[in-house]
Structure 1
Amino acid sequence: MPLHANAISSSTPPDPLPKLAALDNTFGALLLGTYGSLLLFGLTAHQTYRYFHLYPQDGRILKSLVTTVMIAETLTSIFCMHICYHYLVKSYSKPQALQFGIWSIDVYPLVTGISMVISQSFFARRIWLVAPRFRLVVVVAGILCLAEIGFFLTGSVKAFIIPTFQQYEEFQWLVSAGSTMAVTADTLLTAVLIIVLHKSRTGIRRTDSMIDVMIMYAVNTGLLTGVFNLLSMLFVRAAH
């Protein structure tokens, strides 16, 4: 018998890897979501570049708002990548590590909430300036935004205190409540903005065409965001 065959037959077989739990509807879903969010992050970075290139005359407040949103979105993408790397690469073959939260996943709800509130404040300010009779709606949306950031902040604090995902399940409603506040605020602000723009029609084709474009922009940036937030919340509830 050849020497190498004897060596192979006498060698000790490697220890089997521990059996891993199915990750399709947990970290697998997070990984797919991260892929999609990184594509959208690229679009956000491109839009930010075009904004500063095309509108250098805008005021400092608006430029600061855009910069802050870009920073928040960058942090969100970094956190998502860190979460995926920690659980799916660094903790590979360590099933016990999948039970515990890490700082990036704990702070993620708060950073996401901050990004949402900043974006919503832009639309709220626009309605406040161009439609004074709807300022009460803006106030209501502002209260919802404060409640939203409060729920997300509490959810992040609880995540740092509670070590395991299983123990955190009873506080998952905090994140769901924050998402509900975000969806409601988005819907209110978008609906009012569409109403204001629709009533601004003059009958002149060129002007009305511009208004139609603005309405489509409001739907794409406000209503669609709210729809995806709602779907995200429903998927989280369905997973539990």
Structure 2
Amino acid sequence: MSPLPSTQTPTLGNTLGAIFLAVVLSCILFGVSTLQVYHYYHYYPNDTRVHKISVGVLWVLDATHLSLTIASTYHYAVRGFGDFAGLQIVTWPVKLAITINVIIVLLVHSLYTSRVWRLSGYHRGVIGYLVAAVVLAGSGIGVVLAIESWGLRTWADSAAMDWAVLASFAAGTAIDILLSGAMCFYLRKSKGAGMRLNSRISTLIQYTLSTGVFTSAMSLACFFTFILMPHNLVFLSITYLLTRLYVNSFMAMLNARQRGPRTGTDSDAYALSRSHPTSGVRVSTVAFTHGSAPLAQPRDVERVRPPLSTAPNALS
């Protein structure tokens, strides 16, 4: 049998070294996400309770995932130094980190899907249903991967779940691309005659594209490194970074909105979108104005307040 290529041969550099570098970069990205969480709670105090709780849960899960990666790295690099038999065992922090990674990705994708659903005007069009179906299928693959990981005893046993790993990376890439495309499509449809409104929407489109490109590129990197270098841990180190990027991407999307105290109500935004369909402010903008200062509106638009009982909550 011919020897393995140098890119596949397990070495100290592409196993423990790759994990160590991933942990260092993960700590930096965790600091960035923590700062974004602080900015969110400071500048958007009027957001819905669902979003406030979701952001808090994401931060806790992110911190827990980082702690588990540090603990597993310490176990293999320090406590298991020189114990070649022990290095083959998959410890529980690694398994729990995989599970939390699946939960984080599922939560972020669900929050993005809810935004697409509201941008589409709920039951209008098929894109919202398509996005929901793809996210649901990808979530099922992630759950299978998390369950299968708890059955691992050694790293060699992971060969039996290669299909689940590859399917999870492929599904993540497809979902990221689909979510970014759907959100940009509906945001572009929301543009109208207002210059400031169009400027804010263009900013949201730029954030959506940039974050979608980053997460999709990292998912593809995990996919190809797992195929090309299955005998080392480079793909696992990229997975650690991917988890941080998912949290940062969603926080960047929330913090891209206009800051400042609210000057209107949800009912005002809903009435504006309903009573002036040609003004460039449609139902899709409500998903990005709830809980913060509304986007700038054309001056020639008259506000009409409907009864509170008839105005749906955009983000609940």
TM-score normalised by length of structure 1 = 0.84
2:150 is paired with a residue of what secondary structure?
Answer: helix
Correspondent of 2:14 among 25, 30, 33: 25
Q: Distance in 1 between matches of 2:222 and 2:92?
A: 22
- Tell me whether 58-67 or 171-180 shows the greater mean CA deviation: 171-180
Give identity over the alignment, percent.
24
Correspondent of 1:41 among 23, 30, 36: 30
1:53 is matched with: 42
Q: Does 1:115 align with 2:113?
A: no
1:228 is matched with: 218
Residue identity in the other structure for 1:79: L
Q: What's the C-alpha RMSD, in Å, of the aligned pairs? A: 1.9
Correspondent of 1:72 among 56, 61, 71: 61
Residue identity in the other structure for 1:129: R
Cα drift, residue 172 of structure 1: 2.4
2:290 is matched with: none
- Give unpaired runs (5+ residues) of structure 1: 1-20
Q: Distance in 1 between matches of 2:146 and 2:200?
A: 42
Q: Quick one: structure 1 residues 199 and 153, their matched pair in 2 at CA, closer, same or farther if it must change by over 3 Å?
A: closer
1:214 is matched with: 204
Q: Quick one: structure 1 residues 176 and 134, their matched pair in 2 at CA, closer, same or farther if it must change by over 3 Å?
A: farther
Cα drift, residue 173 of structure 1: 2.2
Correspondent of 1:141 among 128, 131, 134: 131
Asked if 1 retains the 8 angstrom alpha-carbon contact of 2:138 and 2:168, the reply is: yes
Q: Which is greater in Rg? A: 1
Residue identity in the other structure for 1:23: L
- Tell me whether 127-136 or 69-78 shows the greater mean CA deviation: 127-136
Q: Distance in 1 between matches of 2:95 and 2:218?
A: 22
Correspondent of 1:89 among 78, 86, 91: 78
- Give unpaired runs (5+ residues) of structure 2: 1-9, 231-316
2:287 is matched with: none
1:119-164 Cα shifts (integer Å, max 9, x gaps): 1122211121121366633333333333333333333333322311
1:143 is paired with a residue of what secondary structure?
Answer: helix
Asked if 1 retains the 8 angstrom alpha-carbon contact of 2:119 and 2:183, the reply is: no
TM-score normalised by length of structure 2 = 0.65
Q: Quick one: structure 1 residues 135 and 175, their matched pair in 2 at CA, closer, same or farther if it must change by over 3 Å?
A: farther
Higher RCO by CA contacts (8 Å cutoff, separation 6 or greater) = 2
Q: Does 1:105 align with 2:88?
A: no
Q: Distance in 2 between matches of 1:182 and 1:199?
A: 26
Cα drift, residue 103 of structure 1: 0.5
